[in-house]
Chain A
Amino acid sequence: MKVAVIKYNAGNVQSVLYALERLGVEAELTDDPDKIRSADKIIFPGQGEASSAMTYLKARQLDQVIREIKQPFLGVCLGLQLLCEHSEENDTDCLGIFPVKVKKFIPENSQEFKVPHIGWNELENLADDVLLRDLPESKFLYYVHSYYAELSEVTIATTHYIHDFTAILHRDNYWAIQAHPEKSSTVGEKMLSNFLNI
């Protein structure tokens, strides 16, 4: 199985490669459109800022490549936000795979709720989805983010911080996880292996 991890100007890709390695998969980190198009599975990770990431992707026509993918595709963290319609982070038009808007966390009480949302939080309202099959009983994921995707028809799991937000999205061949499955212990590992087995 060929797994491509999309290389762009975002941090935290190395840990995704290591997590895949622990699952016995040697993925290729690449920004070559042909290699991305011909992979069996594609992962779009990342940590960083939305508008500079979009500018980078557009400059290399990777935005078009991502929209035309037919194989199973997984966005992670910033990857999830970029697959949405629009992000409030520097008022950025994103890829529009998911008809969902990305907003900034605004705490009602800044003493109780700090932003970014950093740490382990629980998955709730899980839909029956291939990505979520046979997860361990305790479903905590590791989050680091200041922006969140709104709840939507394509939301397949939620997490609560200040209010409910989208933890995981699925539409057609695209999945996306707001947390970092590569850093989320056995729960994250199971999701990654579910994705690789799609």
Chain B
Amino acid sequence: MLTKRIIPCLDIKDGRTVKGVNFVQLRDAGDPVELAKIYSDEGADELVFLDITATVDKRKTLAELVTKVAKAINIPFTVGGGISTVEDVKVLLAAGADKISINSAAVKNPVVIDQMAREFGSQCIVVAIDTRNVDGIDFVHTHGGRKPTLLKTQAWAQEVADRGAGEVLLTSMDHDGTKAGFANELTAEISSALSIPVIASGGAGSMPHFKDVFTFGKADAALAASIFHFKEIPVPTLKEYLIGEGVSIRK
């Protein structure tokens, strides 16, 4: 049986992890490769690296990091943040990334999804959607959720799937950072409408939140950052809990 995926997300700046991490076994808390290795050994199903480096010349550092990660770990990983062209994708896939994720660039120029999917295959193109509810309607936001667009989230999710995205990474900005649970209703609506997998993100605070997003939320995968980094919920404990709750999970 196909299992639900648990995905820790690492924020990267200038080749280093930015958010504080709290792993006693880490010799260098800022080394993404070491952290990635720990997560993969602990049973994480996949990893996402989100690059928040602002400057273009520092992006070379990202490709170098991707190669180091690819050499070190034996599970799939996605790289996102500031990717806008087919050339950007080519560099990162050649460096060893399994998938790339695009966000603002897809909103600005949707045809780039078609181009990337045609060039590299849908399986490696993840479209990240940041959504926020405004007066009862879900709208796509860009620039880390700060900038609203006129795109309705449900319609945009359908469009990116039609254009050839392989997966959707749906982050609810209303839930992100609250630790009050994922956006189950919206996730379920989008996951049911699409024929591609949906990764839910934003709001993880406890183990039952993961159970909820996999059952009520119909998510194919769930992504979280701080609860894993600070060891509030270790990946093995979470997986054991979910298996006990009857969720299909890789042991």
Contacts and interface: CB of A to CB of B under 8 A. Distances in A.
B74 A121 contact: no
B89 to A, nearest CB: 11
A138 B121 CA distance: 30
Contacts of B96: 14-15, 18
Interface in A20-39: 21-22
A163 to B, nearest CB: 12
Contacts of B94: 14
Contacts of B5: 119-120
Contacts of B3: 119-122, 140
A171 interface: no
A114 interface: yes
A183 B1 contact: no
A115 B195 contact: yes
A183 B2 contact: no
Interface of A is mostly: mixed
Nearest to A139: B251
A22 B74 contact: yes
A183 B121 contact: no
Size range of the chain A interface in the assembly: 35 or more
Q: Which of B40, B76, B122, B166 has the most CB of A within 10 A?
A: B76
Given A14-B94, A160-B1, A116 B166 contact: yes
A122 B96 CA distance: 25
Given A21-B71, A183-B98, A142 B76 contact: yes
B189 to A, nearest CB: 12
A138 B45 CA distance: 14
B250 A120 contact: yes
A111 interface: yes
Contact of A117 (B2, B75, B221, B251): B2
B196 interface: yes
A90 interface: no
A138 B96 CA distance: 26
B220 interface: yes
B192 interface: yes
A189 interface: yes
Nearest to B198: A114
B92 to A, nearest CB: 11
Given A114-B195, A120-B3, A138 B251 contact: yes
Contact of B2 (A119, A180, A184, A188): A119
Nearest to B94: A14
Interface string A39-51: 0000000011100
Interface of A: 11-12, 14-15, 18-19, 21-22, 47-49, 107, 110-111, 114-122, 138, 140, 142-144, 160-161, 180, 182-186, 188-189
Interface of B: 1-5, 40, 45, 70-71, 74-76, 93-96, 98, 120-124, 166-167, 192, 194-197, 218, 220-221, 250-251
